[in-house]
Chains A and B, each alone.
Chain A
Amino acid sequence: MTRSKMWALAGAAGALALVLSACTGSATPGDTAGGAGQKIKIGIKFDQPGLGLQEGNTFTGFDVEVAKFVAGEMGYAANQIEFVESQSAQRETMIQAEQVKLIFATYSITDSRKEKVSFGGPYFIAGQDLLVRADDTSITGPATLEGKRLCSVTGSTPAQKIKADYPGVELVEYGTYSMCVSALESNGVDAVTTDNVILAGFAAQPQYAGKLRVIGEPFTEERYGVGLKKGDIETCTKVNDAITKMVETGAWKKALADTVGKSGFEPDDRNPPTPDACS
Chain B
Amino acid sequence: MGEQTTDKGMREASRRRFLQAGTALVGGSAVAGLGGAAALAESGSNLPPNVPEWMKAPGDPMGSQPYGTPSVYEKGIVKNISKTLPQYISASGRTPLQELDGIITPNGLFYERHHGGVPTIDPAQHRLMLHGMVDRPLVFSMDDIRRFPSQSRIHFIECSGNPVYTKPYGKTASDLVGLVSCAEWTGVPLKTVLNEAGLQQGARWIVAEGADAAALTRSIPIEKCLDDAMLVYSQNGERLRPQQGYPLRLLLPGFEGNMNVKWLRRLKVVAEPAYSREETSKYTDLMPDGTSREFTFYMEAKSIITRPSGGQKLAEPGFHEITGLAWSGRGKIARVEVSVDDGKTWQDAQLQEPVLTRALTRFRFPWHWDGKPAVVQSRAVDETGYVQPTLAELLAVRGPNHFYHNNAIWPWRIDANGEVTNGQA
A, B from the same assembly? no
Which residues of B are in contact with A by a Cβ distance under 8 Å? none
Which residues of A are in contact with B by a Cβ distance under 8 Å? none
